[in-house]
Amino acid sequence: MERCPGLARRYWFPSSALGPVSAKLCFASETKTARAKGKSFEAELPGGRSQAELGNESKVRELFGREHCSVFSPPLTHGLLLLLAVVLLLSGSRDALAIEQVEFTRDGRTLRVEGRVRVEATDGGLLLESADGTLWTLQPDEIRQRTRDSRLPRPLTKEAIEAHLLEQLPVGFKVHRTKHYLVCYNTSYDYAKWCGSLLERLYRAFTNYWIRQGFELYESSGPLVVMVFADASSYRAYGKDDLGSAANQIIGYYSLRTNRVSMYDLTGSESSRGSKNQRGSAAEINRLLSRSAAIPLVATIVHEATHQIAFNCGLHARYADVPLWLSEGLAVYFETPDLKSKKGWRGIGAVNRPRLATFRANLATRPAGSIEILLADDRRLRDPQTAAVAYAEAWALNYFLIRHRPKEYTAYLKMVSEKEPLIWNTPEERIEEFKQIFGNDLDQLESEFLRYMRKVQ
């Protein structure tokens, strides 16, 4: 299956800020035709209506409503709309790449959006992606007019994207550019620059690591957008549409739906600031965030940024059935901060002490066949009652496989990266996929896993 670098471009603007919309499409690659399994699905989107009775809600939570947070998945905060009963993914033809202008009505407003149709239903419903990366789920009865433009999409420049972002963001925001990122901020320039430097080092370390493992990555063909708010209150106000009340408990998150990482200035948190209540230069920011109380906060930001990179370099595919144990465990593997190095990233693969402690503390009550349960579906990671233990086991399993079975792990990653969007595996299919790479004897694998993790220091 061809990977689609166009998925690297995702920019989202709150629905409350939307009037009539017209944005130039910036996709440049083709999409592989996928098999339709006839499953209905729902999509979460800004300004949605009440939840439909039909559809696979659990899968929608994974693909459209999931915010990658360190411990749990927040509740859905927008309505879920039933899009279609049978999905037809468009082929990579010239027509499929063409731009469409769609006029539709929603909540008493007439909106116009220009972009590329990603999915078209047999009943006329559309899944459309605009140039700013917004994913629009349009019901047949909402659509008033469709016009196809023969122009092929052309990438937007960084300058154009930046200007478009600043038009939509609150007054006071600025943009700091790096090689791979647009850091949108209303805090100090020094902090935005510090974030950009941290993210670039992580990007280089992450991509170089997987290239060395033999994984063929692509360079993100558009900048990754990161939002940095001056304080927790403005961040929570912004994030409530995505996270609901969970915004009060989460210091940063990557949104699979919007493709953004959002956070706030950690030097503004009391645990980071210390008694002198100072923020300052990059060196001072480093010293401040190297305090023991601040390390978990920085680790969370690194974790979320790792998700963003993984979903934009070909390692994972958005809207595809990427097992949560894999994506979350891999992010934990990379999340150990490295604030001392100016160029490298020495934290990759370091033992995650809190996760290891949690894993070992629960060995006595760990159910038999726990790996198979983890592979089959994502429920343990999504349930607040079991998430902490499940995340620890997901990290441990990734740690074990990366270090003990690296070739098989890379082969499994490649297989998952090639999954077609909007097609969800059954628990049996997920387990069978894993066995294709790692072998049929899961009991033997589990024994090896437990022996290995008991020796980890």
Does the residue 235 lie in any domain?
yes
Residues 290-311, mean pLDDT to the nearest whole number: 90
Residue 334 placed within a domain? no
**According to the model, what pLDDT value does residue 154 have?**
67
Instruction: Indicate the pairing of strand 174-177 with strand 143-149.
Output: unpaired
Distance set, CA 58 to CA 100, 354, 383 (Å): 30, 29, 12
Residue 364, in any domain of the structure: no
Please tell me the pTM assigned to this model. Answer: 0.77
Three-state DSSP state, 205: helix
Distance CA 338, CA 345 (A): 6
Answer whether residue 449 is part of any domain. Answer: no
From the CB of residue 455, how many other CB atoms can be counted at a distance below 10 Å?
Answer: 6
382 inside domain: no
Any idea what the CATH number is for the domain that residue 227 is in? Answer: 3.40.30
Query: Each residue of 204-223: pLDDT tens digit?
Result: 999 999 999 999 998 876 78
> How much is the average pLDDT of 225-250?
91
Q: How many CB atoms lie within 10 A of CB 22?
A: 12
Top pLDDT among 283 and 67 is at 283
Span 176-188, pLDDT tens digits: 999 999 999 999 9
Cβ partners under 8 Å of residue 456, min gap 6? 351, 356, 399
Torsion sign across C-alpha atoms 432, 454, 381, 67: negative
User: Which stretches within 109-224 are classed as H helix?
Assistant: 158-168, 189-212
CA distance 268 to 249: 16
* pLDDT tens readout for residues 345-392: 667 888 999 999 999 999 999 998 999 999 999 999 999 999 999 999
The dihedrals phi and psi of 393, each to the nearest 5 degrees, come to -70, -35
Domain that holds residue 216: 170-309
- 81-133 residue pLDDT tens: 344 334 455 544 555 567 899 999 998 999 998 888 877 878 888 878 777 66
Structural domain includes residue 18: no
- The domain total for the chain is 1
Task: Report the range of poorest mean pLDDT among 22-36, 52-66, 327-341, 428-442.
Answer: 22-36
For β-strands 174-177 and 224-229, DSSP reports them as unpaired
User: What torsion do the CA atoms of 398, 401, 407, 409 make, to the nearest 10 degrees?
Assistant: -40
Is residue 16 domain-resident? no
261 in a domain, yes or no?
yes
CB-neighbour burial class of residue 39 (10 A; exposed 0-12, middle 13-18, buried 19+): middle
Provide the residue type at 266 as one letter: L
Q: For residue 20, what is the DSSP state?
A: S
Tell me: pLDDT of 244 over 50. yes
Share of the chain above pLDDT 70, in %: 72
Name, in order, each residue with C-beta under 8 angstroms of 282's C-beta and a sequence gap of 6 or more. 190, 193, 194, 197
Residues paired with residue 130 on neighbouring β-strands, in sequence order: 115
Residue 209, pLDDT score: 93
